[in-house]
A and B are shown apart, each in its own frame.
Chain A
Amino acid sequence: MPKVKIKRSHPVVDMTAMCDVSFLLLTFFILTAKFKPNSVVAVDVPSARSTTIAENVLVITLNKEGKAFVSIKESKMRFAMIDQLEQQYGERYPAIKGLTDDQKRFFSLVDTWGTPIADTKRVTSMNGMELQQYQKSLPGIPYDSLNNELGDWVMAARYAAAESGTPIKIGIKGDKDADVDYVKQVIKGLTAKDINRFILITTLAAPAGDAAAGEAKEGEAPAAN
């Protein structure tokens, strides 16, 4: 009797299609990925459990010393913001008047701004090396009630946003060890300008166990003093 021959062959799956799909996805993710801007100001953000996603935000960064900085992600918006500041508040701040387009472009390339308005012209005509040096110790934007430049920056950003048609949110990114008084003062300065909705930028909280452990440690520290 003829034996039935069982064909022995290891199954080969055609991977071409899978490869196509995976590379398609890969290209998609690579193209949509955004580079994280190198942050000039180091801020340790507090963590919270309740979160929404922050998008299209003007971020007011507040560091430990209570210095304030503004940043917007898109450089186009930054250009519009300084343009609006000149148009709307040129009378109040003569120092902002008569900025050249080159200086405005320079401004739009700097992603974190922390200079009093009086100094704008000097800083926007710096070269790369000078700017790097300068950014090591940014003076911050004043936000006290007498000289509320921060509020005017925010208003300028809102004008710019209104012109471009996409509303902008006002985000506060404070250092977790910053004095709450600084934050209160910033908020007060903005509510005076009828800006009442804020988002506080946070990170996701660590799992419950970690948080409790951290809390306990922090509780001990003051007792030891």
Chain B
Amino acid sequence: MADIDTSGGGGGGKHGGGPRSKKMSTRVDLTPMVDLAFLLISFFMLTTTMNKPKAMELNMPKKTEIEDDKMDVADCQVLHVLLDTLDQVWYYEGLQVAGLEKTTFAGDGGIRKVIMKKLKRVPTTCPPLRSGKPREAIVLIKLLKGARYKNMVDILDEMDITGCKTYAIQDPDPIEIEAVENGGTVREFARE
């Protein structure tokens, strides 16, 4: 394939004339060159698209002092998620820190399932807002000191995957820190 094509020169002696010098065709087979070009194209295409950094958006609340801006939140709406230093996820609903439970980020069985369930349950079980609209679940994310940044990204990612629209990053309460440190148990008198 890569040789020089000489067939186009004619000179088959049809006319029976004298000896003719063979005309060499100047055609060069370009196939390997095209192969190479496409190889390089695919290389550059892939490397340029891979090189673009990816990112996730994070919007923090504006500092507002206006009372009207504050949301009407019921206890039954809230899911507290705590992240500790050992990559564990703790969660409890409403105000009951005592009901603290432990889970992980692992696939479908972990925190994702908890959030999904909460998202489904809140609009049906919680009393609707004053305007008559059903309530939506609110996830409060609390990052304990020493937790890894990876876990923060993971939980924000879970928010996106489960489609939870209302969430906030907060500082943990002392009672929550204590509860996590004690492996989920809360002393009775701790909550007044």
**Real binding pair:** yes
A155 to chain B, nearest CB (A): 16
B90 to chain A, nearest CB (A): 14
Which B residues from 108 to 161 make CB contacts under 8 A with A? 143, 145-154, 156-157, 160-161
Q: Among A89-97, A158-166, A190-198, which stretch is in contact with chain B?
A: A190-198
Q: Which residues in A have their C-beta under 8 angstroms from that of B106? A: 212, 215-216, 219
Q: Which residues in A have their C-beta under 8 angstroms from that of B156? A: 48, 50, 200
Q: Among B44-52, B66-74, B174-182, which stretch is in contact with chain A?
A: B44-52
Query: Is B55 a contact of A200 with CB atoms below 8 Å?
Result: yes
B190 within 8 A of A: no
Q: Mark B52-67, 1 if CB is under 8 A from A, else 0.
A: 1111111111110000
Give Cα distance in the complex from A211 to B154, angstroms: 11
| A-B CB pair tally, cutoff 8 Å | 168
Q: Which residues in A have their C-beta under 8 angstroms from that of B51? A: 34, 36
Q: Which residues in B have their C-beta under 8 angstroms from that of A204? A: 54
How many residues from A make CB contacts under 8 Å with B?
Answer: 62
| Also in contact, A177 and B149, with CB within 8 A (given A22-B37, A50-B56) | yes
Q: Which residues in A have their C-beta under 8 angstroms from that of B171? A: 184
Q: Mark B97-109, 1 if CB is under 8 A from A, else 0.
A: 0000000111100
Which A residues from 173 to 195 make CB contacts under 8 A with B? 174-184, 187, 191, 194
A225 to chain B, nearest CB (A): 9
Query: Is A194 a contact of B147 with CB atoms below 8 Å?
Result: no
Main secondary structure of the interface of B (DSSP, over half): mixed
Give Cα distance in the complex from A54 to B62, angstroms: 23
B7 within 8 A of A: yes
Query: Is B154 a contact of A48 with CB atoms below 8 Å?
Result: yes
Query: Is A51 a contact of B55 with CB atoms below 8 Å?
Result: yes
A102 to chain B, nearest CB (A): 31
Residue of A nearest to B46 (CB): A29
Give Cα distance in the complex from A53 to B161, angstroms: 17
A19 within 8 A of B: yes
- Counting chain B residues whose Cβ lies within 8 A of the other chain, the interface size class is 35 or more
Query: Is B161 a contact of A49 with CB atoms below 8 Å?
Result: yes
Residue among A32, A171, A178 making CB contact with B48, cutoff 8 Å = A32
Q: Mark A30-49, 1 if CB is under 8 A from B, else 0.
A: 10111010000000001111
Give Cα distance in the complex from A201 to B52, angstroms: 11
Give Cα distance in the complex from A176 to B45, angstroms: 29
B112 to chain A, nearest CB (A): 11
Query: Is A202 a contact of B38 with CB atoms below 8 Å?
Result: no
B104 to chain A, nearest CB (A): 6
Q: Which residues in B have their C-beta under 8 angstroms from that of A50? A: 56, 156-157, 160-161
A205 to chain B, nearest CB (A): 8
Query: Is A15 a contact of B33 with CB atoms below 8 Å?
Result: yes
Query: Is A53 a contact of B83 with CB atoms below 8 Å?
Result: no
B11 to chain A, nearest CB (A): 16
Residue of A nearest to B152 (CB): A180
24 A-B residue pairs with Cβ-Cβ distance under 8 Å, sorted by A, are A19-B30, A26-B41, A29-B45, A33-B44, A48-B156, A50-B161, A51-B55, A52-B55, A57-B53, A172-B58, A174-B149, A176-B149, A179-B147, A179-B149, A180-B146, A180-B151, A194-B63, A200-B55, A201-B53, A201-B55, A202-B54, A202-B153, A203-B54, A215-B106
Listed in ascending order, the chain A residues whose CB lies under 8 Å from chain B are 9, 12, 15-16, 18-19, 22-23, 25-26, 29-30, 32-34, 36, 46-55, 57, 62, 171-172, 174-184, 187, 191, 194, 196-205, 208, 211-212, 215-216, 218-219, 222
4 closest Cβ contacts across the A-B interface? Answer: A15-B30, A50-B160, A29-B44, A176-B150
